[in-house]
Amino acid sequence: MATKASRWAQSEEDAAAEARRKRDKEEKRKAKDEVRARQAAAMAQQQERIAEKAGERSPKRQRVSSGTDLEDGAQMLPLVPRGFRPSAPVDQYELLNSIEEGSYGKVSRARSKIDGQVVALKKLKIDQSHDGFPVTGLQIKTLMLQLSSAISYLHTNYILHRDLKTSNILLSNRGEIKLADFGMARFTSTPPPPNLTQLVVTLWYRGPELLLGVQSYSFEVDIWSLGCVFAELLTLEPLFQGKSEIDQLSLIFSMLGTPSNETWPGFRSLPNAKALHSIPSNANPASKLSARKFPYLTTSGLRLLSSMLLLNPADRPSADQVLEHQYFSEDPKPKPKEMFPTFPSKAGQERRRRKATPQAPVRGAAPAISEHEAASIFAQRHQEEQGAGFALRMA
């Protein structure tokens, strides 16, 4: 009886296929070996060429002796290497004139009292304040650029924020600003509608026209608040820290001067301006901000800040004009938001001294100013209350 073949037995066809696979594998191995051999030979030839070139090049040697080719009577003088020497004291120089001033220092032209040499002296500006958020000139430009862009977007869409202040600005850990608290915002038009709410904007950031009871206003009220925020970023404290509407007007007029029909046409027609008929003749005329108040600000930046804090609302720039100002294009350039420092730990913030700002007002009519209260605006101020400092909320 014939034995049945196993189903797993290898046939002749399977044996032939296995032999072909072995031959192909051996041929591929030989081809790889040939490629490796050619690469090794090429590498060896390249190293030989490099070695030949290195052997042809004569090595450079330092000259250690003068030789015997000196002329008669000539002598070798020792070469004394010039090292670093400490700078002379500042009082040994006579200041001639100022050259340039930036966010971090001031460069002046001076002459040495010893040898008369004309040099350039640079005086660094060091901020000793440790309160609030640590901002620099570069970071201030970036913050103001983002904030002005946000205000420009709102005004382009006919939206008044009406409560712009530092406590309503959120700063993320990516260096991005978010504008918050639109509880007092409203749509407007051109020309602005009449009989708008007078009592808007937190007191320290409220424009003089709102304090005087204007009933129709436009985007200029946000520009005034933007200027107050700008000044607060620079000095790390609010610019006008009034305790009441009267005190706020007094602070504004004492720093920026008193308005008149020439500097602010129609000023006398405002409801609360009628009580200011007792403006003394020796009152300070309307003026711009003093550079001594902002020593770290460039000339272009001071012009921008002064334009945003003009008493006459019609003279203030628009948000688009603020963005196009020279301050943002001059050196030093705004700091990239990616390079902003990280925030301190939460525990560190809890130890930091916190300062409160006034609350937003309840909507309504502007408080009336009596003649007696108006007279106190121009009275001599004996003491100013210390108020809140600059602080940003983290998103």
CB atoms near residue 108 (< 10 Å): 17
357 and 249 both lie in a single domain: yes
- Residues 158, 164, 170, 171: is their CA dihedral positive or negative? positive
The residue ranking higher by pLDDT, 183 or 375, is 183
Distance from chain centroid for Cα 141: 3
316 and 244 both lie in a single domain: yes
In a domain, 266, yes or no: yes
270 and 318 both lie in a single domain: yes
In a domain, 51, yes or no: no
107 and 219 both lie in a single domain: no
The listed range with the strongest mean pLDDT (47-51, 73-77, 186-190, 279-283) is 186-190
Q: How far apart are CA 234 and CA 304, in angstroms?
A: 13
Q: Using the predicted structure, report yes or no on whether residue 94 has a pLDDT greater than 80.
A: yes
Contact 294, 235 (CB under 8 A): yes
240 and 94 both lie in a single domain: no
Contact 24, 31 (CB under 8 A): no
330 and 287 both lie in a single domain: yes
Q: Using the predicted structure, report yes or no on whether residue 221 has a pLDDT greater than 90.
A: yes
Q: Which of 21-30, 63-72, 180-189 is the least confident region?
A: 63-72
The residue ranking higher by pLDDT, 337 or 374, is 337
The pLDDT tens digits for 69-86 are 656 666 666 665 666 667
244 and 183 both lie in a single domain: yes
Band (pLDDT 50/70/90 cuts) for residue 323 is: very high
Number of domain units in the chain: 2
Environment class of 382 (CB within 10 Å of its CB; exposed 0-12, middle 13-18, buried 19+): exposed
Q: How far apart are CA 314 and CA 221, in angstroms?
A: 10
Q: Domain containing 103: what range?
A: 90-124
147 and 106 both lie in a single domain: no
- What was the pLDDT predicted at 324? 93
The pLDDT tens digits for 103-157 are 667 888 999 888 888 988 888 766 554 444 445 777 888 899 999 999 999 999 9
Long-range contacts of 275-280 (CB under 8 A, 24+ apart): 275/369, 275/370, 275/371, 275/373, 275/374, 276/369, 276/374, 276/377, 277/371, 278/371, 278/374, 278/375, 278/378, 279/378, 280/378
215 and 250 both lie in a single domain: yes
The catalytically annotated residue of 163, 181, 247, 315 is: 163
- What was the pLDDT predicted at 274? 74
Cα-based distances in Å from 387 to 131, 211, 243, 247, 304: 13, 20, 9, 13, 25
110 and 206 both lie in a single domain: no
In a domain, 33, yes or no: no
Beta bridge partners of 36: none
Band (pLDDT 50/70/90 cuts) for residue 205 is: very high
Could you confirm whether 163 is annotated as catalytic? yes
Q: Tell me the CATH number at 226.
A: 1.10.510.10
Q: Which residues contact 374 (CB under 8 A, 6 or more apart)?
A: 246, 275, 276, 278
